[in-house]
Amino acid sequence: MSKTTKKTSGLSQDKNWWRQAAIYQIYPRSFADSNGDGIGDIKGITSRIPYLKSLAIDAVWLSPFYPSALADGGYDVDDYRDVDPKLGTLADFDEMLAGLHKEGIRVFVDIVPNHSSNLHEWFKEALAAKPGSKARERYIFRDGKGANGELPPSDWVSHFAPSSWTHESTFGGKNNQWFLHWFAPEQPDFNWENREVQKDFLKTLKFWSDRGVDGFRIDVAHGLAKDLSEPFRSMPVHEGLEQRGNKGKGIWGDRNEVFAIYKEWRKLFNQYDPPRVAVAEAFVHPERLPLYASTKTLGQCFDFRFIETPFEAHAYKVATKEAIELAQKNKSSCTWTLSNHDQIRHATKMGLNPAVNRRSWMLSNGTSHPLDKESGTANALAASIYILGLPGSTYMYQGEELGLHEVTDIPESEIQDPQYLRNLKVDKGRDGCRVPLPWTASGSSFGFGSGGAHLPQPKWFADYAVEVEEKDESSPLAIYRKALSLRKELQTKEEIKWHKTTDISVLHYSRPNGWNVIINFRAENYQMPKGELLLSTRPVVNGKIPAGTTVWFKKK
């Protein structure tokens, strides 16, 4: 018997609502602070529901808000079925959820199944238990090598540490074993061959689904199943796509066994009416994406290709066609995205010379090469409006609607990201895209809260503040709002038709109802076909589309 979500006035009961939705990612600690402690919180999100409604989005995706010591920005979870006291309470969450639902906005929450935090009750129990115990079997503990077990069990490396194995004595364990972690030592990996682990995550998914949550973003969805057969295979470098291959037989990720887990999750999701939605974060070969996006598994999978696709016509057309063909193959929908909490903001990427090594540039605090902010913002806006016209769902990251750039000069003493702190400081990390949003042009934290902000905000944030852009009809915020509102009106079948253009740096596609989209990458004043202009990211004068511009129009 299916469980029907309590209906609210604002929510459609369309089971396919997610296929062409606009989803806005909120990084809770950096969105809005309700109590002045410098940390964004659940009540802060609730206070900004009118703003979210003004964006005409279909859903929000909340990055982790669970209890956490913040070894990795909240992706080290102490308790999967509670709210971090610094961010609020379950009652606050319920109030926020009801408020969003009332305005027709659905809610995704982030699920982090690959690992817990070292402060999770299970891991505390594991450290106190003996080798081979039930408590230790929930994680991946092994004896070390060397005469006295003083060496790691294998040569595997971690994303945030030289070794993916940490000796249990680091956290007070006394049994001379090592535990596995793909990320920071404070993020011990679960043993997904363990039935108790599998059942407990079903409880977590049910807990939030019963509460009314509409969907889940699955962190590191490709990482749960691992080859733990001994002797361990050698992998002294990070297992990338080249090392892993495309047969589902890697060491760390994208193993075929993971789909049995997601098939069980899908059975749970389908018990609800409408069914719960899930989207996988899976860094895998493109031909493997449909396995995660299958109707028998998670249903959707992020396609990250546009995050690194050069801002030029041929690359965009190839990326678009490949993504649509993959989605059609599996009867899923495309998932377009240009930014998220792990990426340099795309306005900054598009304002840099493509030849610049972005990692080195970030380590120079953004000083080694010039950044053309104006061009970057314009190109980013053109790219965003281009993908908003495509069939499928679009995932946006907070602040991109303001044209925000990366904060490149966070002092070392204030950096929080283990990607910098644990990697010999060779990567500046992700804090620059996680700086709290500017709501006003003045104040101690630009309207983020009544106090300071947990990451430093630069003075130039004043130029990108919500209150400033709301007064400017040509601002990125105004254009996003118009585009997202029009998108709801224009939405049609998940089909696309390409049209020839008179310049190779221009792309033109249309949707079945006559909705046309042109993006001009570099052509000087490209002539727009005859039609009704609906939207333009830059002024169109006498039908001339300037470079770095996207237009929507209806043909006459």
pLDDT tens digits for the chain (556 residues)?
456 555 455 788 889 999 999 999 999 999 999 999 999 999 999 999 999 999 999 999 999 999 999 999 999 999 999 999 999 999 999 999 999 999 999 999 999 999 999 999 999 999 999 999 999 999 999 999 999 999 999 999 998 878 999 999 999 999 999 999 999 999 999 999 999 999 999 999 999 999 999 999 999 999 999 999 999 999 999 888 888 888 999 999 999 999 999 999 999 999 999 999 999 999 999 889 999 999 999 999 999 999 999 999 999 999 999 999 988 887 889 999 999 999 999 999 999 999 999 989 998 999 999 999 999 999 999 999 999 999 999 999 999 999 999 999 999 999 898 877 776 676 788 999 999 999 999 999 999 999 999 999 999 999 999 999 999 999 999 999 999 999 999 999 999 999 999 999 999 999 999 999 999 999 999 999 999 999 999 999 999 999 999 999 998 7
Per the DSSP assignment, residues forming a β-bridge with 3 are 272
CA pair distance 377, 383, nearest whole angstrom: 10
What predicted TM-score, i.e. pTM, was given to this entire model?
Answer: 0.96
Q: Is residue 343 domain-shared with residue 240, that is, in the same domain?
A: yes
Task: Tell me the C-alpha distance between 61 and 473, whole Å.
Answer: 27
pLDDT tens digit sequence for 185-228: 999 999 999 999 999 999 999 999 999 999 999 999 999 999 99
365, part of any domain: yes
Residue 92 lies in a domain: yes
Q: What is the CA radius of gyration of the chain?
A: 24
What are the structure tokens assigned to 14, written together?
């369309």
pLDDT, tens digit, 9 for 90 and up, residues 272-302:
999 999 999 999 998 899 999 999 999 999 9
Q: Which domain holds residue 342?
A: 3-114+197-469
150 and 64, same structural domain?
no
Q: Which two tokens stand for residue 64?
A: 């982790």
Q: Contact 384/10 with Cβ under 8 angstroms?
A: no
Q: Among 427, 452, 469, identify where a domain stops.
A: 469
The CATH number of whichever domain residue 535 belongs to comes to 2.60.40.1180
Question: What does the alpha-carbon distance between residue 522 and residue 506 come to, in Å, rounded to a whole number?
Answer: 7
Q: Edge-to-edge strands of the sheet including 549-555?
A: 497-499, 506-510, 515-520, 549-555, 531-536
Element of type H or E holding 90: helix 90-102
* Ordered strands of the 22-26 beta sheet: 299-301, 277-280, 215-218, 106-111, 59-62, 22-26, 393-397, 335-337
Count the neighbouring beta carbons within 10 Å of the beta carbon of residue 149: 16
Do 257 and 295 sit in the same domain of this protein? yes
CATH label of the domain that carries residue 284: 3.20.20.80
Quote the tokens at residue 252: 């760390």
The answer to whether 478 and 515 are in contact (CB under 8 A) is no
Spatial separation of the C-alpha atoms in residues 429 and 411, rounded to whole Å: 12
Closest CA to 533 of 555, 511, 507, 509: 555
| C-alpha pair distances (Å), 493 with each of 235, 511, 514 | 46, 7, 11
Q: Are 90 and 83 in contact (CB under 8 A)?
A: yes
In a domain, 191, yes or no: no
First-to-last C-alpha distance (Å) of the chain: 50
Token digits of residue 308: 């690194």
